[in-house]
Amino acid sequence: MMHGQVLQTQWSQLSEFIAAAMGLHFPRERWDDLKRGLFGAAQEFGFDDTAACIDWLLSAPPTQAQLQVLASHLTVGETYFFRDPPMLEALAGSILPELIRRRRGREQRLRIWSAACCSGEEPYSLAILLHQLLPDLQDWDVTITASDINVNFLRKAVAGLYGEWSFRNAPAWFKLRYFNRCADGRYALVPEIRKLVSFACLNLVEDAYPSLASNTNAMDVVFCRNVLMYFTPHQVAKVIGNLSHALVEGGWLAVSPTEASQALYPRFSAVNFPGAILFQKNSASSPAQPVEVAVAPVPPFPVPVLEAPLPGILPADPDPTAWQPEPVAAEPLPSPLAGAQTLFEQGRYEEAADTLLAALTQRSPEPALLHLLARALANQGKLADALAWCERWIAADKLDPAGHYLRAIILQERGDPEQARASLQRAVYLQADFVLAHFSLGHLARSQGKTTEADRHFANALHLLQRYQPDDLLPESDGLSAGRLTETITALNALESVS
């Protein structure tokens, strides 16, 4: 009897622990699901006794490895290609054609984020959709970012191998055009589609986003479907707020029908398409009334062993006690910079930029003001303007490595990897221990298929990260901690090993 009471208390504590760490909501009526998931997780952790496993989990703050194991047993991986045709038809028949029309011949870029991508069917569906809509796809800078908390799902997504069950909503021609049959009966996605999607391990509840560092900023469309329903109400509000900040003005948020309550999306207007509701970000403080939109007819569419750090850049055996990272927090900013900084931190990038531009008419353009203005414009997706102000920042302070780093990130988003690489190398030359510059060089090399070079740059970043405490926030990272970047690099290396 006493043992039963203890277990009930443990389940309650575990439910609260998982809600806080992962956002997943397991109220008492879902404890059977929690018990089933934890039974499998306990075995993977090496426990025969579930109660002992719970005590172990609750004894200290969770590690990313623990969260990934829990995620693999507590999250549902049920998805398939071209799930929810009405929503995809709204995207293909109205939203994307309008974006393409407005940007063709100007800044030809499109940015989409599948924020809970599971095993990859959703982002690959979006990639195929764009492949059909853009006959001149090679002339566009297309970013499709796919993230999930579950590394096991991501490994499958990166591999791009699928069985028949993943095609249950797709026409026969779909497999013939975009997949090759394997000897084991599975289907391998063709490289031209695989290369359009980049995958990342991201915790929607805990990680900092939007961020230039994680490429989760200035999105045109965010898909976050069938995940909000598993979060606590507090975490739902937090995630929706962050996703709003990740979208450009007028950007679109796609959620599942069961999550499409207007009350959850105060920063959005509900737009009714045939058979689907999407939410459009608007700058007004009060939401607009739902809008009906007709959709034009469209055809049915259905981590390896790292090499040593680069010689001459880092010491071979750093002494962590001999160096302490500079604190990220700056001195209090003078007005109007302080006000703009507050707006920026609230995700109100357009207002922050307007405040800074107004200030520039009344005072000299000091580097701190130019820095924040360039970042605010970049987070809105106004890359040409952001680059221009970043150049002015660099001209005002040529020796600040942060200016060259931001210039590199903007250039990479604009589809100029070689210039981005040169700016990152300049940032490292000016500050050899600039962690994010090393990381970005690795990410850029990896995207170009330069695996050996990428491994070296990632090794440099991991080498430098040893000097930080896990909770230390990294400069120029928009809130990314040293521990989280370490885990991100480890996860990227693990994903690369299966690609």
Tell me the pairing of strands 179-181 and 187-189: antiparallel
Q: Report the amino acid identity of residue 161.
A: L
Enumerate the domain spans of the chain. Answer: 2-74, 85-292, 320-496
Write down the pLDDT at residue 4.
36
Q: Report the amino acid identity of residue 368.
A: A
Query: How far lies 278's CA from each of 125, 148, 176, 269, in Å?
Result: 18, 21, 31, 8
Contact 226, 117 (CB under 8 A): no
Write down the pLDDT at residue 67.
80
Write down the pLDDT at residue 324.
54
Cα–Cα distance, 467 to 482 (Å, whole number)? 9
Chain center to CA of 498: 20
Q: Which residues contact 338 (CB under 8 A, 6 or more apart)?
A: 332
DSSP letters for 328-348: SPPPPPPTTHHHHHHHHHTT-
From first to last of its 499 residues, the chain has per-residue pLDDT tens of: 233 333 688 888 888 888 887 777 788 888 888 888 888 888 888 888 888 888 899 988 888 778 878 877 887 666 889 888 899 999 999 999 999 999 999 889 999 999 989 889 999 999 999 999 999 999 999 999 999 888 888 888 999 999 998 998 787 788 889 999 999 989 999 999 999 999 988 888 877 889 888 889 999 999 998 888 778 888 889 999 999 999 999 999 999 887 888 888 988 999 999 989 999 998 644 444 444 444 444 444 443 333 344 444 444 444 544 555 555 555 555 667 888 899 898 888 999 999 999 988 887 778 899 999 999 999 888 899 999 999 999 999 999 999 999 999 999 988 899 999 999 999 999 999 999 999 999 989 988 889 899 999 999 999 999 999 988 999 888 888 898 888 888 888 877 766 5
Write down the pLDDT at residue 290.
43
Q: Is the pTM value of this prediction over 0.85?
A: no
Write down the pLDDT at residue 316.
44
CATH number for region 320-496? 1.25.40.10
**Would you tell me how many other CB atoms lie within 10 Å of the CB of residue 74?**
22
Q: In what order do the strands lie in the sheet with 247-254?
A: 197-201, 141-148, 109-114, 219-223, 247-254, 276-281, 268-273, 291-292
In a 3-state reduction of DSSP, which class is residue 234? helix
C-alpha closest to that of 389 among 434, 428, 352: 352
DSSP letters for 104-150: TTS--EEEEEETT-TTTHHHHHHHHHHHHH-TTGGGSEEEEEEEES-
In a 3-state reduction of DSSP, which class is residue 177? helix
In a 3-state reduction of DSSP, which class is residue 281? strand
Cα–Cα distance, 129 to 301 (Å, whole number)? 7
In a 3-state reduction of DSSP, which class is residue 261? coil
Alpha-helix residue ranges (DSSP H) falling in 380-450? 383-396, 401-413, 417-430, 435-447
Write down the pLDDT at residue 169.
78
Cα–Cα distance, 382 to 370 (Å, whole number)? 15
Query: How far lies 49's CA from each of 35, 45, 75, in Å?
Result: 12, 11, 22
Rounded to 5°, angle at Cα 286 from 285 and 288? 125
Cα–Cα distance, 293 to 132 (Å, whole number)? 22
The DSSP H or E segment spanning 478 is none
Q: Identical fold at 85-292 and 320-496?
A: no
Cα–Cα distance, 34 to 27 (Å, whole number)? 9
CATH level 2 (architecture), domain 85-292: 3-Layer(aba) Sandwich (3.40)
| DSSP category for residue 231 | B
**Would you tell me how many other CB atoms lie within 10 Å of the CB of residue 340?**
26
Cα-Cα-Cα-Cα torsion 442, 453, 153, 111, nearest 10 degrees, comes to 50
Q: Which two tokens stand for residue 472?
A: 């230390």
